[in-house]
């Protein structure tokens, strides 16, 4: 009945039939006979004539017979129960007239009360009972599709990762063959998934007893009747090789054991007394002595003969290693499953998500459950006989009784019927168009039982419908091969739904949890759902809400374990570990650039790392990073932007210069350096450039496909470096060194993936990615690299550099993809560099970008390295040779600002000299600074910003001469004096004599911009060299070329886009003073809730700086900054100032800071 159907119409339909169409049955279409007050009735699920691949071609005798209406006590007329109150309907003439009148009055009263009650109940009935019944079709109200239907909504809030993979490079635990304790042999019984579990347990038991495992035999099962060998399903070579460092596995019984039949028949060689879920110690005490005595022993039966929480965690981890890594299906099975999954996604013409549904409603499962179900009386009688025959003891003990069946349903121990599954999925919001792959045996009840599910979700398909008969024939020889196809297609689905227990569903959900729990796996709460199905007073909205709320956390996330937990469904503690949040605090460490530029050697680097480990690691400085050009040979002619001096492998990837890094010889890369760094308790980082090297492109090296270990092929072509390198997008400040790659091509993505997977193999923990941010922005490359890093088993911190012209608007596009990103140019040891950080730091702090969501953790704006200690010079080929130019107070100012801004702290100087340069209590007495004029200069500055920024709009074109046109910025700059608009002459891009015509279309509509139309110098957006923090970013000019850095496009919305970075040009008026002056104050909170206040004196003279407590309280509400409640202390001097009455104040040295820590108590 539709929810809006008039009551009279529903009453008419309720009363026109009896039996299967009785009023109670029509209202309770999906109510179980186990619900309170409900009894058996015929099922509408038996009337669909449509064929279904899910059923047998032959029906049972009960199914073949016609459906007859059976009247029982529930089908008798209403008056038959109250015969004494209905004498006027009785044919007995002896009934008096007065009695009839009284009875009639009473009957009218009862009918009136009943009508009011029925009307009230009908209005409130659960919609599964109010679904309009049109023949055998159930029409339930549509629920609006939720945005989280196809993704696990809580997966992003968790951080679990697998930890059962093979230990690459680890030592083998397998003793020599002559030291083995013996051989064990097992029969893996049951179906495919039960056999899988037995194999995992066999490897674990062999490990426990230090025995050799003979390749298990897949025993022929009485139900499956399958003659399948291990090698018919699994890749034997991979299985043995993957576990070679854990357990010795042999293919067959040793040749010296002559009487092989004895192994299967002799009681003396068989251990049969192993209890279910036995602890590891049982095998050591009871089985191992017999194995040592007989040398070869068979273990049977071997189903569930090893426990979970009573074995060591490393043994459980080994079981996961077998299950998720070593047991690999044959390639032809994997390929067919991939094909079926692709066909599921493309059924509607596009790459769409699909659901996999595992139905457990076979006759055997229904019988074994001893649960009541919707059926006719004949069906129930037939099932009772079937149960009595198959499970006589349970039947005799009363398992078939209705009361016990009802209790089982309340406890959630009954399989869901197809109709119930349909209503649950509809309540969750899945639409009729949902593509559903069904993995199931022959559904009990056949077509009629499937009718409600098929009519509510018509896009139900099985492998028989997705594949041709010829494609499946080669798998029919082995039933387990067909089961393997179902397993893999379900495993690859976007949403997996189980309807009852069993090894298949447990293994699927466990594998999806292990692989990252990003895919949704729905495990219906059958107990709670039975209560909802049995509640006739629940409306559809309430029912749908109940379903959604009940299952919002039942989506396949790892769950906390409990005693006797099931390892296969929830491999949490031994096989999945909590991943540490990336960059939960601003990263700290040391970088080689400020002290060695690019020339650092392995010996120098490890010496610095050892000093960091001893002196700064206790303070959280845990990263040591090799900066750029570690692959460049240090020979005459080599410098920062030289070409032809780099060391690359055959795949065009950079590898360390073996002269400076001798441990890299033999293809080891940075592996040995990383191991030594890790042994010091530190983490190892490297600097990398954008895209691919010019040297690799010139050599036209092949691209490595890491998934296959061979050269990348696509479309019948082997791709090379020249196919993916974009020469017109060479790095602006290292144009001879590196260029972008085409991330839209499969080959370009394969190359980048091969780079970062190699870094992970080396043991890298930190990557500083250069020439992809700021003026050199390349969002496509940043996005793909972030995606690759997210998929790696090894956590790698992701940093971007440099940050020239970065704005909060620009940073918001990448902050979630990385862990730290530079927001300034290079910072060196000059006061102007330090002072230039205040404004940009303020901008990012007020935009809530500090500690925002980042790659697998948080992200932090980076103010660049701390150039303290013994330094080199920018671009130098020399190592550290001079002291830091900042005086004592300026160094304190830099450290204080970086800390207050919560910037990453990367020390840049040569560490052995730190004590003599930064720990002195005295300032540099000989340093003198001359006070310069405060005259303000108005300068129009060309910069870059995000094209979504309103400050990017203001450009227009106008004609100035016959053949000349200008691009001008006419937006009001807000300056005090009227200045002419900022204009540049435009010219269509032209080829120079030494440039190739490659793709003319990419330059259509692109412009060159010139300051003077008579010159050949064009505006380039990004600087041709690295600029420092103090330098103003102004547009500069260089000889015109078809260089993406010089290509511009004017849009109708008034924006001017640069082809190199994708950023837009903007013009601002800078009031640039010849010196940075003034005072600044910052307030922040510490990790323990303490309050920090910092004063900064940017003036050339000593200045008294004060702050009112009331102003601090406004800036940090809720911190108890009330008058008389705070005591404060200056951190640098250690001076205790007592209680702050109305303000805090201090005379601050020139270019120096004051840092106060306030401890406040509540006035309540």
Query: What is the domain-level CATH number for residue 1009?
Result: 2.80.10
Exposure of 756 in the CB half-sphere (CA atoms within 13 A): 29
Give me Rg for the CA atoms of the chain.
Answer: 38
Q: How far is CA 1133 from the centre of its chain?
A: 47
Give, for 427, the enclosing helix (H) or strand (E): helix 418-428
Closest to 792 measured CA to CA, from 753, 824, 825: 753
pLDDT at position 1148 is 94
Q: Which residues contact 594 (CB under 8 A, 6 or more apart)?
A: 828, 865, 867, 871, 872, 908, 909
Does residue 779 form part of some domain?
yes
pLDDT, tens only, 320-360: 999 999 999 999 999 999 999 989 988 877 678 999 999 99
Residues 17 and 142 in one domain: yes
Average pLDDT of span 85-109:
54
Distance between CA atoms of residues 238 and 326, nearest Å = 7
CATH number for the domain that contains residue 1145:
2.60.40.1180
pLDDT at position 122 is 40
Confidence of residue 178 (pLDDT cuts 50, 70, 90): confident
Does residue 1146 form part of some domain?
yes
Would you say 818 and 854 are in contact if contact means Cβ atoms under 8 Å apart? yes
Number of domains in the chain: 5
Residues 555 and 636 in one domain: no
Residues 766 and 675 in one domain: yes
Question: What backbone phi and psi angles, to 5 degrees, belong to 159?
Answer: -140, 70
Does residue 1045 form part of some domain?
yes
Residue 443 DSSP SS3: strand
How far, in Å, are 889, 914, 1137 from residue 922 at the CA level? 9, 15, 22
Does residue 924 form part of some domain?
no
Give the pair of three-digit tokens for residue 349: 């013409």
Distance between CA atoms of residues 426 and 127, nearest Å = 11
**pLDDT, greater one: 170 or 432:** 432
pLDDT at position 1027 is 57
**The last residue of a domain, from among 302, 326, 350:** 326
Give the pair of three-digit tokens for residue 706: 């890491």
Distance between CA atoms of residues 70 and 377, nearest Å = 8
- Is residue 911 predicted with pLDDT exceeding 80? no
pLDDT, tens only, 743-797: 999 999 999 999 999 999 999 999 999 999 988 889 999 999 999 998 887 889 9
**pLDDT, greater one: 870 or 31:** 870
Residues 739 and 664 in one domain: yes
Q: Of 41-50, 747-756, 1076-1085, 1107-1116, give the range with the top mean pLDDT.
A: 747-756
- Is residue 1088 predicted with pLDDT exceeding 70? yes
CATH number for the domain that contains residue 22:
3.40.50.11350
pLDDT, tens only, 802-828: 888 888 888 988 999 999 999 998 899
Residue 564 backbone class (left: φ over 0; alpha: ψ -120 to 50; beta: rest) = left
Give residue 408's domain range: 1-160+329-579
Does residue 167 form part of some domain?
no
Residues 896 and 945 in one domain: no
Would you say 737 and 641 are in contact if contact means Cβ atoms under 8 Å apart? yes
Question: What backbone phi and psi angles, to 5 degrees, belong to 436?
Answer: -125, 125
**The last residue of a domain, from among 1046, 1073, 1100:** 1073
How far, in Å, are 381, 500, 508, 761 from residue 168 at the CA level? 60, 38, 26, 9
Residues 711 and 832 in one domain: yes
Closest to 751 measured CA to CA, from 869, 654, 651: 651
Beta bridge partners, 355, equal: 436, 495
What distance, in Å, lies between the first and last C-alpha atoms of the chain? Answer: 63
Give, for 984, the enclosing helix (H) or strand (E): strand 982-988
pLDDT at position 265 is 60
- Is residue 134 predicted with pLDDT exceeding 60? no
Question: What backbone phi and psi angles, to 5 degrees, belong to 374?
Answer: -70, 120
Residues 349 and 283 in one domain: no
Residues 128 and 143 in one domain: yes
Residues 1087 and 1051 in one domain: no
Does residue 862 form part of some domain?
yes
CATH number for the domain that contains residue 772:
3.20.20.70
Reported pTM: 0.54
Q: What would the DSSP string read from start to end of 525-548?
A: -HHHHHHHHT-TT--HHHHHHHHH
Is 351 exposed, middle or buried (CB count within 10 Å of its CB: 0-12, 13-18, 19+)?
exposed
Average pLDDT of span 1130-1157:
92
Distance between CA atoms of residues 1150 and 1079, nearest Å = 10
Distance between CA atoms of residues 413 and 517, nearest Å = 25
Residues 631 and 772 in one domain: yes
Residues 321 and 333 in one domain: no
Distance between CA atoms of residues 627 and 596, nearest Å = 9
Average pLDDT of span 577-602:
89
Does residue 930 form part of some domain?
no
Does residue 592 form part of some domain?
yes
Q: Report angle CA 793, 235, 751 to the nearest 5 degrees.
A: 40
Residues 870 and 884 in one domain: yes
pLDDT at position 673 is 97
pLDDT at position 554 is 83
pLDDT, tens only, 937-955: 445 667 788 888 888 888 8
**The last residue of a domain, from among 288, 307, 326:** 326
Q: What is the largest CA-CA distance in the chain?
A: 133
pLDDT at position 549 is 84
């Amino acid at each position: 009945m539709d929810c809006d159907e008039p009551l009279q119409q529903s009453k008419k339909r309720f009363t026109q039939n009896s039996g299967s169409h009785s009023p109670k049955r029509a209202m309770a279409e999906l109510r179980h006979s186990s619900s309170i007050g409900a009894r058996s009735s015929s099922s509408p699920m038996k009337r669909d004539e449509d064929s279904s691949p899910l059923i047998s071609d032959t029906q049972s005798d009960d199914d073949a017979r016609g459906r007859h209406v059976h009247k029982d006590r529930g089908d008798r007329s209403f008056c038959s129960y109250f015969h004494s109150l209905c004498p006027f309907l009785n044919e007995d003439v002896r009934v008096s007239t007065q009695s009839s009148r009284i009875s009639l009055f009473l009957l009218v009263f009862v009918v009136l009360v009943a009508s009011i009650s029925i009307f009230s109940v009908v209005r409130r009935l659960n919609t599964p009972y109010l679904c309009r019944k049109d023949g055998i079709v159930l029409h339930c109200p549509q629920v609006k599709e939720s945005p989280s239907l196809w993704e696990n909504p809580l997966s992003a809030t968790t951080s679990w990762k697998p930890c059962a993979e093979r230990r690459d490079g680890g030592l083998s635990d397998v003793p020599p063959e002559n030291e083995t304790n013996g051989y064990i042999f097992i029969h893996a019984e049951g179906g495919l998934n039960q056999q899988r579990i037995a194999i995992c347990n066999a490897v674990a038991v062999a490990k426990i007893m230090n025995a050799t495992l003979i390749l298990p035999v897949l025993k022929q099962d009485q139900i499956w009747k399958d003659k399948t060998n291990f090698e018919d399903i699994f890749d034997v070579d991979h299985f043995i090789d993957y576990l070679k460092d854990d357990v010795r596995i042999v293919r067959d019984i040793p040749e010296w054991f002559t009487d092989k039949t004895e192994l299967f028949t002799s009681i003396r060689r068989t251990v049969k007394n192993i209890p279910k879920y036995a602890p590891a110690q049982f095998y050591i005490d009871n089985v191992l002595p017999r194995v040592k005595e007989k040398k070869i022993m068979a273990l049977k039966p071997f189903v569930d003969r090893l426990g979970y929480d009573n074995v060591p965690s490393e043994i459980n981890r080994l079981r996961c290693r077998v299950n998720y890594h070593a047991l690999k299906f044959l390639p032809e099975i994997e390929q067919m499953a991939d094909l079926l999954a692709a066909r599921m996604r493309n059924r509607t013409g596009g790459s769409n998500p699909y659901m996999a549904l595992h139905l457990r409603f076979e006759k055997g499962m229904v019988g074994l459950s001893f649960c009541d179900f919707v059926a006719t009386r004949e069906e129930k009688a037939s099932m009772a006989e079937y149960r009595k025959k198959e499970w006589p003891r349970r039947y005799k003990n009363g398992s078939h009784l209705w009361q016990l069946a009802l209790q089982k349903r309340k406890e959630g121990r009954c399989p869901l019927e197809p109709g119930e599954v349909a209503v649950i999925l509809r309540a969750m919001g899945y639409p009729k168009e949902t593509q559903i792959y069904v993995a199931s045996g022959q559904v009990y009840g056949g077509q009629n039982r499937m009718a409600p599910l098929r009519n509510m979700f018509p896009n139900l398909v099985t492998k028989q419908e997705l594949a041709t008969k010829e494609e499946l024939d080669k798998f029919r020889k082995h039933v387990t091969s067909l089961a393997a196809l179902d397993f893999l297609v379900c495993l690859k689905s976007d949403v997996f739904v189980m309807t009852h227990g069993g090894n298949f569903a447990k293994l699927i959900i466990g594998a999806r949890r292990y692989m990252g729990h990003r895919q949704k796996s729905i495990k219906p709460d059958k107990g709670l759902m039975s209560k909802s199905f049995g509640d006739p007073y629940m409306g559809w909205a309430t029912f749908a809400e109940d379903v959604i709320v009940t299952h919002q956390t039942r989506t396949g996330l790892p769950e906390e374990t409990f005693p006797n937990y099931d390892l296969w469904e929830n491999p949490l503690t031994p096989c999945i570990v909590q991943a540490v949040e990336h960059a939960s605090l601003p990263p700290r460490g040391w970088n080689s650039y400020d002290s060695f530029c690019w020339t650092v050697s392995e010996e120098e680097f490890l010496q610095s790392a050892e000093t960091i480990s001893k002196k700064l690691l206790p303070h959280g400085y845990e990263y040591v990073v090799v900066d750029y050009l570690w692959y460049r040979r240090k020979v005459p002619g080599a410098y920062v932007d030289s070409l032809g001096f780099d060391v690359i492998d055959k795949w065009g990837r950079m590898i360390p210069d073996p002269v400076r890094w001798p441990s890299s010889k033999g293809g080891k890369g940075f592996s040995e350096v990383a191991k030594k760094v890790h042994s010091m308790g530190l983490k190892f980082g490297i600097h990398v450039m954008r895209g691919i090297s010019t040297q690799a492109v010139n050599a036209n090296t092949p691209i490595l496909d890491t998934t296959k270990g061979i050269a990348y092929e696509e479309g019948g072509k082997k791709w090379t470096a020249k196919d993916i390198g974009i020469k017109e997008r060479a790095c602006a400040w290292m144009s001879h060194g590196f260029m972008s790659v085409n991330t839209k091509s499969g080959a370009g993505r394969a190359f980048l993936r091969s780079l970062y997977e190699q870094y992970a193999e080396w043991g890298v923990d930190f990557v500083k990615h250069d020439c992809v941010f700021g003026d050199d922005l390349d969002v496509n490359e940043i996005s793909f690299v972030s995606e690759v890093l997210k998929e790696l088993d090894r956590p790698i911190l992701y940093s971007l550099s440099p940050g020239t012209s970065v704005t909060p608007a620009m940073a918001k596009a990448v902050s979630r993809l990385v862990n730290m990103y530079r927001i300034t140019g290079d910072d060196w040891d000059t006061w102007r560099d330090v002072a230039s950080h205040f404004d940009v730091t303020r901008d990012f702090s007020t935009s809530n970008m500090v500690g925002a969501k980042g790659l697998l953790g948080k992200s932090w704006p980076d103010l660049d390295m701390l150039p303290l200690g013994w330094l080199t010079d920018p671009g130098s080929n020399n190592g550290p040779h001079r002291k830091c130019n900042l005086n004592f107070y300026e160094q304190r100012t830099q450290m204080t600002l970086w800390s207050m801004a919560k910037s990453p702290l990367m020390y840049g100087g040569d560490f052995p000299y730190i004590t003599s340069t930064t720990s002195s209590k005295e300032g540099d007495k000989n340093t003198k600074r001359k006070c310069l004029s405060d005259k303000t200069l108005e300068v129009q500055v060309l910069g870059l910003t995000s094209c979504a920024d309103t400050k990017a709009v203001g450009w227009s074109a106008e004609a100035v001469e016959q053949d000349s046109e200008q691009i001008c910025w006419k937006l009001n700059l807000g300056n005090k004096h009227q200045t002419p608009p900022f204009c540049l002459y435009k010219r269509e891009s032209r080829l120079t004599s030494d440039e190739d015509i490659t793709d003319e279309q990419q330059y259509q509509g692109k412009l060159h911009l010139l300051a003077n139309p008579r010159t050949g110098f064009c505006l380039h957006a990004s600087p041709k060299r690295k600029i420092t923090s103090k330098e103003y970013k102004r547009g500069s000019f260089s000889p015109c070329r078809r260089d993406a850095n010089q290509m511009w496009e004017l849009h109708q919305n008034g924006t001017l886009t640069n082809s190199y970075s994708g950023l837009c040009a903007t013009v601002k008026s800078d009031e640039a003073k010849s010196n940075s002056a003034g005072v600044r104050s910052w307030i922040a909170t510490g990790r323990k809730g303490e309050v920090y206040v910092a004063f900064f004196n940017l003036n050339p003279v000593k200045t008294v700086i004060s702050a009112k407590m009331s102003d601090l309280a406004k800036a940090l509400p809720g911190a108890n900054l009330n008058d008389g409640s705070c005591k404060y202390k200056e951190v640098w001097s250690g001076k205790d100032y007592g209680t702050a009455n109305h303000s805090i104040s201090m005379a601050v040295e020139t270019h120096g800071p004051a840092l106060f820590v306030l401890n406040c108590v509540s006035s309540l």
